[in-house]
Chain A
Amino acid sequence: MSAASGRLSLKDGLRVASVGLRARRLRAALSALGIAIGTAAIVAVLGLSSSSQAGLLAEIDRLGTNMLTVEAGQTVTGQPVELPTEAPSRLTLLQDVQQVAHTGLIKGKGVYRSPIIPATQTGGLQVRAASLDLLTVLNTNVAEGSWLNPGTARVPVAVLGSVAAERLGIGAAFTGERVWLGGQWFDVVGVLESSPLAPDVDTSALIGYPAAKRYLGYLSLARGVRKAGPPSSIYVRADTDRVAATQPLLAPTANPREPDGVDVSQPSDALTARAAAAGAFNSLFLGLGVVALIVGAVGVANIMIISVLERRSEIGLRRALGATEGQIRMQFLTESILLAAIGGIAGVLAGIVATAVYASSKNWAIVVPVEAWAGGIASAILIGAAAGLLPAIRASRMSPTEALRTV
């Protein structure tokens, strides 16, 4: 009899621990399913939050964070202040400003499908005059048709923002479609993609400044000259590294007389905040996942207790073959952990698949945070250990003679 102990090798230990699982596969699969559902819910919630956040951040990256918006605001006393007509051209003179585009909100004019629609039913849509470089600055494209050009900017044609086109019921086949705008027909020549940096553009019908002046009487007096205008929103692209330095210069440059009546904002800030909100996972579903995990754990504990009772003779035989109490305890504890780990791994895979399917349907990058999948497997293992501890201790305390007697 050598002094070496009767310790099992890792391979033997795993083989012994999986005996019960292999003998009763359906039962093992069903009890692992409880753990799997909980883990899948948690991984999917975390994965979807991260993926939607990644989607938004990618969108922000594509749009650029160097755009600033200058808008007509109010005086301290609440009086509306218009921007001067020459504000855009003054802003282009600033050193770090790369591009400037602008739109002018034409108040009191709506855009309708036909003349018989009551004027009050605006559908929340607006009419704006737009400078021709608007799309370049907003980094937006034409979804269908074409954008305004110096020629079409003078005639009664309109380009619709994405939301405006949808609400007016003008889809891809808009050739020959026209809209009733400011008391006359305007031909629709294009529809824009959505522009997250300037949501106002989405809900607008855009026409050229010359057309606005000519057909809608949108003009103001600047130094004695009647010009189309004034602009109400000016979109400025600044040098990416100089955005912070440029921002405070915009208001006094746009309106030196009343800089307080100018609102300057960075739209990408709002989007970033939205991304952060999207990244904050849905705590309700996360809670449901945790509840499912707990229910799964109770299921595993239940199955393990039944398993210990059913396998008394196996326990007795193993003790007769020389298994120590510790080896019996370890066998059942490992079995429980294996069961939960199988459930955990299946759940993580299901959660990743759910995330992948949903994220690709939304064209988001598929992001499953390490904490989600590693945490899912780790918590399953912990749950297996917790659920298996009591049954394992029971199994090891069972006296071998009692275990052998019950047949």
Chain B
Amino acid sequence: MSGEPVLELDEVTKVYGEEPPVAALRGVSFSIRQGELAAIVGPSGSGKSTLLHIMGTLERPSSGTVRIRGIDAERLDDRELSLLRAREIGFVFQQFFLAEHATVRENVADGLLYAGVPAPERYRRADEALERVGLSDRATFKPTKISGGQRQRVAIARALVGSPAIVLADEPTGNLDSRTGASIMDLLRELGAAGSTIVMITHDASLADQLPRQIRILDGQVVSDSRGDHDLTVAESEPS
């Protein structure tokens, strides 16, 4: 399962504030390959949210490089970076972030809104994505009329609709009960098996252990990587 690397972080640091500076990330390096299913796990305050934002190019690192499909994000301006996000990165959030006044289908299609795809094509692909998450029969519903687990499936469909290089899922089961959460985990594994590249951020080690690869971070540093392909400064990498 070692395809081309789709996301590469090299010595990424992130420092917030001036006086005194707070380092949220300290020299993080790893790469995610095409088709990989990985968990980034760490307690709150470990820097995993910052890591998610930097991986998703929502935030620029203080130093180090982030490459998406070989493209150095540092070299792109806001417009190019936004287009990169629109086409290559899918986000799934703990709070779903669905538009309540739009239908499920419109919510999913809006995943391609800023990617320069014409409307009929967006809706056609939205229907496909909804089929992949098993919600074709809810396409015309408003998000307020479906369950929490279904809402997260809609959000996952929205992340998948543009066939991005990588899907970043931030605590995707955080707002769900354990049974529903388990079904979302099943879905992520299915999607991974079907070839999607998914990185899940979580504080829950037992969830992380359900995925083939775990990258553990603590205090802004990677402490272990179950399939590391970079030299790690703090912990030894385990062979995959």
Known contacts A12-B119, A327-B114, A399-B59; A322 and B97 CB within 8 A of each other: no
Q: How far is the CB of A16 from chain B (nearest CB, A)?
A: 7
Question: In whole angstroms, how far apart are the Cα atoms of A262 and B48 in the complex?
Answer: 103
Q: Which of B180-205 contact A (CB under 8 A)?
A: none
Establish whether residues A9 and B59, one from each chain, have CB atoms under 8 Å apart when the complex forms: no
Known contacts A8-B113, A9-B119; A322 and B100 CB within 8 A of each other: no
Report if B53 contacts A (CB, 8 A): yes
Establish whether residues B87 and A401, one from each chain, have CB atoms under 8 Å apart when the complex forms: no
Report if A276 contacts B (CB, 8 A): no
Q: How far is the CB of A78 from chain B (nearest CB, A)?
A: 84
Report if B110 contacts A (CB, 8 A): yes
Report if B82 contacts A (CB, 8 A): yes
Q: How far is the CB of A92 from chain B (nearest CB, A)?
A: 82
Establish whether residues B78 and A325, one from each chain, have CB atoms under 8 Å apart when the complex forms: yes
Report if A319 contacts B (CB, 8 A): yes
Report if B75 contacts A (CB, 8 A): no
Q: How far is the CB of B73 from chain A (nearest CB, A)?
A: 13
Report if B179 contacts A (CB, 8 A): no
Stretch at the interface among B39-47, B88-96, B132-140: B88-96
Q: How far is the CB of A56 from chain B (nearest CB, A)?
A: 53
Establish whether residues B114 and A313, one from each chain, have CB atoms under 8 Å apart when the complex forms: no
Specify which chain A residues have a CB less than 8 angstroms from the CB of B110 in the assembled complex. Answer: 321
Specify which chain A residues have a CB less than 8 angstroms from the CB of B84 in the assembled complex. Answer: 1, 322
Establish whether residues B82 and A6, one from each chain, have CB atoms under 8 Å apart when the complex forms: yes
Q: Which residue of A4, A23, A401 is within 8 Å of B58 (Cβ)?
A: A401
Q: Which residue of B lies closest to A5 (CB)?
A: B116
Question: In whole angstroms, how far apart are the Cα atoms of A11 and B119 in the complex?
Answer: 10
Specify which chain A residues have a CB less than 8 angstroms from the CB of B93 in the assembled complex. Answer: 317, 404
Q: How far is the CB of A311 from chain B (nearest CB, A)?
A: 11
Report if A324 contacts B (CB, 8 A): yes
Question: In whole angstroms, how far apart are the Cα atoms of A404 and B95 in the complex?
Answer: 10
Q: Which residue of B88, B97, B99 is within 8 Å of A1 (Cβ)?
A: B88
Report if A349 contacts B (CB, 8 A): no
Establish whether residues A8 and B101, one from each chain, have CB atoms under 8 Å apart when the complex forms: no
Specify which chain B residues have a CB less than 8 angstroms from the CB of A313 in the assembled complex. Answer: 95, 97
Question: In whole angstroms, how far apart are the Cα atoms of A185 and B199 in the complex?
Answer: 111
Establish whether residues A320 and B85, one from each chain, have CB atoms under 8 Å apart when the complex forms: yes
Specify which chain A residues have a CB less than 8 angstroms from the CB of B59 in the assembled complex. Answer: 399-401
Establish whether residues A321 and B101, one from each chain, have CB atoms under 8 Å apart when the complex forms: no
Interface size class of A (residues with CB under 8 A): 20 to 34
Report if B220 contacts A (CB, 8 A): no
Question: In whole angstroms, how far apart are the Cα atoms of A325 and B81 in the complex?
Answer: 11
Report if B166 contacts A (CB, 8 A): no
| Total interface residues in chain B, CB < 8 Å | 32
Q: Which residue of B lies closest to A4 (CB)?
A: B116
Question: In whole angstroms, how far apart are the Cα atoms of A2 and B110 in the complex?
Answer: 19
Specify which chain A residues have a CB less than 8 angstroms from the CB of B58 in the assembled complex. Answer: 319-320, 399-401, 404
Establish whether residues A323 and B119, one from each chain, have CB atoms under 8 Å apart when the complex forms: no
Question: In whole angstroms, how far apart are the Cα atoms of A329 and B158 in the complex?
Answer: 23
Q: Which of A336-364 contact B (CB under 8 A)?
A: none
Specify which chain A residues have a CB less than 8 angstroms from the CB of B95 in the assembled complex. Answer: 313, 407
Specify which chain A residues have a CB less than 8 angstroms from the CB of B100 in the assembled complex. Answer: 23
Q: Which residue of A9, A19, A323, A399 is within 8 Å of B82 (Cβ)?
A: A323
Question: In whole angstroms, how far apart are the Cα atoms of A320 and B116 in the complex?
Answer: 15
Q: Which residue of B lies closest to A12 (CB)?
A: B113
Report if A318 contacts B (CB, 8 A): yes
Specify which chain B residues have a CB less than 8 angstroms from the CB of A326 in the assembled complex. Answer: 78-79
Report if B56 contacts A (CB, 8 A): yes
Report if A7 contacts B (CB, 8 A): yes
Q: How far is the CB of A25 from chain B (nearest CB, A)?
A: 10
Q: Which of B134-167 contact A (CB under 8 A)?
A: 158
Question: In whole angstroms, how far apart are the Cα atoms of A320 and B101 in the complex?
Answer: 20
Report if B218 contacts A (CB, 8 A): no
What would 16 more interface pairs be, CB under 8 Å, given A320-B58, A323-B113? A6-B87, A6-B114, A8-B113, A9-B118, A319-B85, A320-B85, A321-B91, A322-B84, A322-B114, A322-B115, A323-B82, A323-B86, A324-B82, A325-B78, A326-B78, A404-B53
B residues apposed to A, CB below 8 Å: 49-50, 53, 56, 58-59, 78-79, 82-89, 91, 93, 95, 97, 99-101, 110-111, 113-116, 118-119, 158
Please name the 10 residue pairs, one residue from A and one from B, whose CB atoms are nearest each other, closest first: A322-B86, A322-B114, A324-B82, A400-B58, A317-B97, A322-B85, A320-B91, A6-B116, A6-B114, A401-B53
